[in-house]
Amino acid sequence: MTKQEKQMCAKLAGPETGIEIKHSVCDICTPGPQCGLNVYVKDGKAIKIEGMPEFPSNRGKLCTKGAANRQYVYREDRIKTPMKRVGERGSDDFVPISWEEALDTIAQKLSEIREAYGPESVAWFTGYTKWIRPWLRRLCNSFGGHNYMTESSTCFRSGRMANETIFGRDMRGDLMGRPQLLVGWACNPYINAYVMGQGFVRAKEAGAKIIIIDVRHTQAAEKLADLFLRPRIGTDIVLAHAIANLIIQNGWQDQAFIDQYVHGFEEYRNMVSAYDLETAERITGVPQKDIRTAAEWMSQIKPACITPSNGIVHHINGYNAHRAVMCLDLITGNVDKPGTILPVYDTYCDIGSGFSTYEEEFMNETSTPKTVPQIGEERFPLWNRMTSDAQTMDLPRQVLEGKPYEIHALAAFGVNTMIFPEPGKFREAMKKLDFIFATDLFWTDACKYADIVLPVCSSLERSELKCYPGGVMYYVSPAIAPLYESRDDVEVMTELAKRLCPEDKLLCAGYHESLRYMFRDELEDLEKARETGMPHRCSKFKPYIPGTYLKNGPETKTGKLELYSELIREIDPDYHLDPLPVYYDGNRGTDPEKYPFVLMTGARLPNTIHSRGHKVPWLRSLRPDPMVDISPEDARALGIRQGDKVRLYSETGEIHLLANVTEVASQGELHLIHGYEEANASDLIATDYLDPYSGFPSYKQLRCAIEKEDA
């Protein structure tokens, strides 16, 4: 928007027009650095939405999704009243009921189930929605349960585990610390993380070199990369090990740093020595000269920041792929210095903002000792050791098999069957449960399996505190009143707490009181942020001083940075988890003759967030049909042309969609976006094909076949 247009817009507001500008936050996408909104409200309706100029992350700008906020919030399929199922599970046969009836029924059913089968037989789940997590965890604890779980069982947590394994703590790239080399491994920030993308752009403008490593030809490869490496899907570990091997063979590693801070260098050196340049080129498809350049730059340009993003952990061996990449920071000594990677100290809702709160205490102080394993604990012991959540990916299995004990109810805040690999199996599991309730903005496939469905508010309709790096607190009040009969999720939890665990007075007291408890050392700031409704710098903010973490000693078992994990070594050998980040061929087990392609699902598009954009008309118009990317060579060989109807199938399922012939895809590989109801990528992905370290599904690597359908 030009300056002139902005001035015109600002003039729109005022007593003459009856338009008021309210501040809010865009909650359509990633909960990290969200974007501030100016919402133009007239007669209680949002009539125009634009970026908030004073907001630190977006400075007045909005992406495609943000610009479609109004259409998102006013989507036609918003749930309008609480609903009760009267027909079969999976049918649309529901009748409206009052909030009182809905809440009383839920409380009664959950109490009965707790009484009959124990509190652990209720699974508490939240999807991509992250602002409600401290409350849901506490509700699960106060109810007496342990099976709190989230979509982070498939999102970022495996990467965090990998960091914690090596460093004892999660680590983030320090883009503000003037890195001279940035390695974006599986990273396309223009689409996934606009704000991080700006950090890349600024670093490049300041003269940093950039390496992008991606299985697809992306915007980042095009606009940012000084060197672009394009490995075959699932071969990143080989690439990382080959780079490490070359560095070590040439003595380019930072030996002084390794001697002082690193554990397991000899074991690691032995492992990577198997990956010479020739082997690496054969497996990854990356030319030897490019691997050599990458090794030279990574060891010689300082400071360097080498970080993978989540795409890399959505693999059968994804946890190790993340570890393998981070090991390169270690051997080059690029740790805990400005412009490298720095430790993260969470403030609130998984964001490190530079001050501390009592969030952990709030979430966990009402928990009781566990008497049975959490869901997933027996299958994924490392996940269990490193996180306090149950592993969601094991929920359908446990429901269906009833082992090690039966699950009888699902309490879901934003559940979408599409998140789960093999959604058919999840639906089957839902059919078996005695009771399900779901809160959502929209009427989804999952809602049809619930007994009670509750309508909840969008971010425009609720109060919400966000904390961001740099000590920023942003506490928004509702820009518009809740649409229809919706209430916000935390209000729903508070009402349930009053009925299920009234002794938990704090939870029963509601959102703001809980915040006052968690932020009790920053009360003045909290109230100030609430009062002004503007981004507020917390007075307790202290910038992290690089080097402090290493000086105090890493929080690992050995007190060193672990290339070889002592934690994994302690895990029962029957699980076959390796203390080193080992490579194996993730395509094994399926017949390459029958399934000659490797499929990657869910590399992001600018107009979609999971299932959220596909039903928003403006966003849908940018890609009206589900499409699978296929290389021109493969398309030609199969007689497939742009826009042809194709059948895509794996051992697990099949979907029907259109072909998008593009050089974005390498030969032998296919890509498609998830979250379409009519062609759901997850239908192709098996539930039992999970990373044994993390329990993560292999969204981004599976064998499949494609054929043209008759017109």
Ligand X SMILES: Nc1nc2c(c(=O)[nH]1)N[C@H]1C(S)=C(S)[C@@H](COP(=O)(O)OP(=O)(O)OC[C@H]3O[C@@H](n4cnc5c(=O)[nH]c(N)nc54)[C@H](O)[C@@H]3O)O[C@H]1N2
Of 147, 224, 233, 158, give the one whose Cα is nearest residue 187: 224
Q: Is the peptide bond before 697 cis (omega within 30 degrees of 0)?
A: no
For residue 290, give both structure tokens.
């490019």
Residue 312's binding partner among ligand X, Mo ion, none (Cβ under 5 to 8 angstroms by kind) is: ligand X
Q: What residues between 188 and 207 interact with ligand X by CB under 6 A?
A: 188, 191-193
φ, ψ at 547 (rounded to 5°): 105, -20
Residue 309's binding partner among Mo ion, ligand X, none (Cβ under 5 to 8 angstroms by kind) is: ligand X
The alpha-helical segments, DSSP class H, found in 118-235 are 133-143, 157-167, 189-192, 194-205, 219-223
Segment interacting with ligand X, rule: CB under 6 A, options 114-122, 559-567, 599-607, 631-639: 599-607
CA atoms of 170 and 161, how far apart (whole Å): 8
Contact between 660 and ligand X (CB under 6 A)?
Answer: no
CA atoms of 466 and 478, how far apart (whole Å): 14
Q: What residues between 443 and 462 interact with ligand X by CB under 6 A?
A: 444, 456
Q: What residues between 607 and 636 interact with ligand X by CB under 6 A?
A: 608-612
Contact between 442 and ligand X (CB under 6 A)?
Answer: yes
Segment interacting with ligand X, rule: CB under 6 A, options 11-19, 137-145, 148-156, 174-182: 148-156
Interface with ligand X (CB under 6 A), residue from 416, 660, 694, 698: 416
Residue 674's binding partner among Mo ion, ligand X, none (Cβ under 5 to 8 angstroms by kind) is: ligand X
In angstroms, what is the minimal distance from the CB of 270 to ligand X?
A: 25
Residue 427's binding partner among Mo ion, ligand X, none (Cβ under 5 to 8 angstroms by kind) is: none
Contact between 158 and ligand X (CB under 6 A)?
Answer: no
Interface with ligand X (CB under 6 A), residue from 471, 602, 626, 695: 602
Of 248, 64, 143, give the one whose Cα is nearest residue 135: 143
CA atoms of 166 and 327, how far apart (whole Å): 8
The alpha-helical segments, DSSP class H, found in 395-510 are 395-401, 423-432, 489-500, 505-508
Give the burial class of 343: count Cβ atoms within 10 A of its Cβ; 0-12 exposed, 13-18 middle, 19 or more buried. Answer: buried
Interface with ligand X (CB under 6 A), residue from 60, 510, 606, 632: 606
Contact between 681 and ligand X (CB under 6 A)?
Answer: yes
Segment interacting with ligand X, rule: CB under 6 A, options 265-273, 309-317, 353-361, 537-545: 309-317
683's enclosing H/E stretch is none
Interface with ligand X (CB under 6 A), residue from 246, 312, 386, 501: 312
In angstroms, what is the minimal distance from the CB of 218 to ligand X?
A: 5
Say how many residues touch ligand X, by CB under 6 A. 59
Return the residue nearest ligand X (CB atom): 602
In angstroms, what is the minimal distance from the CB of 586 to ligand X?
A: 9
Residue 29's binding partner among ligand X, Mo ion, none (Cβ under 5 to 8 angstroms by kind) is: ligand X
Site string for ligand X, 682-701 (x = CB under 6 A): x----------------xx-
CA atoms of 265 and 563, how far apart (whole Å): 6
Beta carbon nearer to ligand X, 231 or 546: 231
3-state SS, one letter per residue, for 262-273:
EECHHHHHHHHC
In angstroms, what is the minimal distance from the CB of 267 to ligand X?
A: 25
Residue 441's binding partner among ligand X, Mo ion, none (Cβ under 5 to 8 angstroms by kind) is: ligand X
3-state SS, one letter per residue, for 479-528:
CCCCCCCCECHHHHHHHHHHHHCCCCHHHHCCHHHHHHHHCHHHHHHHHH
Beta carbon nearer to ligand X, 214 or 389: 214
Neighbouring-strand partners of residue 536: 473
In angstroms, what is the minimal distance from the CB of 603 to ligand X?
A: 4
Contact between 309 and ligand X (CB under 6 A)?
Answer: yes
Contact between 218 and ligand X (CB under 6 A)?
Answer: yes
Of 290, 296, 200, 286, give the one whose Cα is nearest residue 246: 296
Residue 694's binding partner among ligand X, Mo ion, none (Cβ under 5 to 8 angstroms by kind) is: none
Return the residue nearest Mo ion (CB atom): 155
Alpha carbon distances (Å) from 437 to 83, 412, 441, 470, 601? 10, 6, 14, 38, 29
Strand order in the sheet with 83-85: 94-96, 83-85, 452-455, 435-440, 409-413, 122-126, 148-150
Site string for ligand X, 349-378 (x = CB under 6 A): ------------------------------
Residues found near Mo ion in the complex (CB under 5 A): 155
For residue 696, give both structure tokens.
């993560």
Using the Cα atoms of residue 241, residue 244, residue 246 and residue 249 in order, give the sign of their dihedral.
negative
Segment interacting with ligand X, rule: CB under 6 A, options 183-191, 290-298, 381-389, 507-515: 183-191
Interface with ligand X (CB under 6 A), residue from 57, 154, 245, 384: 154
Contact between 216 and ligand X (CB under 6 A)?
Answer: yes
Alpha carbon distances (Å) from 424 to 445, 599, 606, 682? 11, 20, 28, 9
- Encode burial over 542-561: b for 16+ CB neighbours within 10 A, e otherwise: eebebeebbeeebebebebb
CA atoms of 280 and 336, how far apart (whole Å): 30
Beta carbon nearer to ligand X, 419 or 627: 419
Contact between 440 and ligand X (CB under 6 A)?
Answer: yes
In angstroms, what is the minimal distance from the CB of 314 to Mo ion?
A: 9
Contact between 163 and ligand X (CB under 6 A)?
Answer: no
CA atoms of 296 and 275, how far apart (whole Å): 16
Query: What number of CA atoms fall less than 13 Å from residue 535's CA on the CB side?
Result: 22
Neighbouring-strand partners of residue 125: 149, 412
Segment interacting with ligand X, rule: CB under 6 A, options 83-91, 295-303, 304-312, 463-471: 304-312
Residues that bind ligand X (CB under 6 A): 29-30, 127-129, 151, 154-156, 185-188, 191-193, 213-216, 218, 231, 233-234, 236, 309-312, 314-315, 413-414, 416, 418-419, 439-442, 444, 456, 489, 600-604, 606, 608-612, 674, 681-682, 699-700
